Amino acid sequence: MKSRSFRQLPEAERVEFQAEVEIREDDFSLEEEYRALVDSGTGACVLFSGLVRDISTDNSGTVLELEHYPGMVEAEISTIINEARGRWSLRRIRVIHRVGRLQQSDQIVLVGVSSAHRGDAFAACEFIMDYLKTRAPIWKKEGADGKHDWVEQRNSDLDATSRWT
Amino acid sequence: MHVQLRFFARIREALGTGQITLELSDDVRWTPRLLAEHLASENGELWGRELLRANTLCAVNRTTVDAETALSNGDEVAFFPPVTGG
């Protein structure tokens, strides 16, 4: 009888797990991030990017100010990444969150995950994003229609996180 | 003992400060809740409203904690609203 635990992993599946978290003002390139995520053993790569959406009702546009708690954000996201590693078989993870002042259609956040098979990468990407939204100490102030208001946490985001528990 | 206080987002704006250092009596078992009550009695109702609001979160040395956690000399205590990144 064959046992899976005795199977010799191919070289490509034995590479060390890599994860990187960056909080920064500068934009990111999806193409560069993709290149950094994939290697010869990668069978699937999922990239999520969140953008500044126009919520103005008078077409005047939307701006965002993002504030964060330096040191704690990186630690929280690293914890989330470690939890994802415990659940799925992953190769590389890259998370970039921009802070400061952003304009409509700007990229805000990137979560990139690579794995041998697509199921792991899809699930882990969504898991990291859901937890990031409810645990990472980052706050948005939204400017539209001549008003600037702090964004309130949405129950739908909390619901999205609770489905993983 | 002394603690470093940090405030973020709506709370920082409402209080008009992001960071203060406090000297506290060594005879008291300080917690984030007691600290918030102390600040409210010293600085007025606005502080109480912001820091004691039901959804205000608290972190000690950059880890989210319960408001009843005991504080130690040199701790960094942060108060902030629910997070909205992503």
Would you list the domain boundaries of chain B? 2-80
- A54: its two tokens: 């126009």
| Amino acid found at B76 | E
Whose structure tokens read 């400017």?
A: A143
Helix (H, G, I), strand (E, B) or coil at B84: coil
Per-residue pLDDT reduced to its tens digit, A10-22:
555 555 789 999 9
Between CA A78 and CA A20 the distance in angstroms is 8
User: So what's the ipTM on this one?
Assistant: 0.95
Backbone angles phi, psi at A160, to 5 degrees: -60, -35
Question: Which chain B residue has its CA at the smallest distance from A154's CA?
Answer: B84
CATH value at residue A42 = 3.90.1170.40
Q: Which of A150, A154, A156, A158 to mutate to test the interface with B (most CBs of B within 10 A)?
A: A150
Does the residue A113 lie in any domain? yes
Are B86 and A153 inside 8 Å of each other by CB?
no
Question: Residues of B at the A interface (Cβ-Cβ below 8 Å)?
Answer: 6, 8-10, 12-13, 55, 59, 62-64, 78, 80-86
Based on the structure, what is the number of domains in chain A?
A: 1
Choose the closest CB to A153 out of B12, B78, B82.
B82
User: Domain spanning B2-80: which CATH class is it, in words?
Assistant: alpha beta
pLDDT digits (tens, 9 = 90+) for A97-148: 999 999 999 999 999 999 999 999 999 999 999 999 999 999 999 999 999 9
DSSP three-state, residue A6 = helix
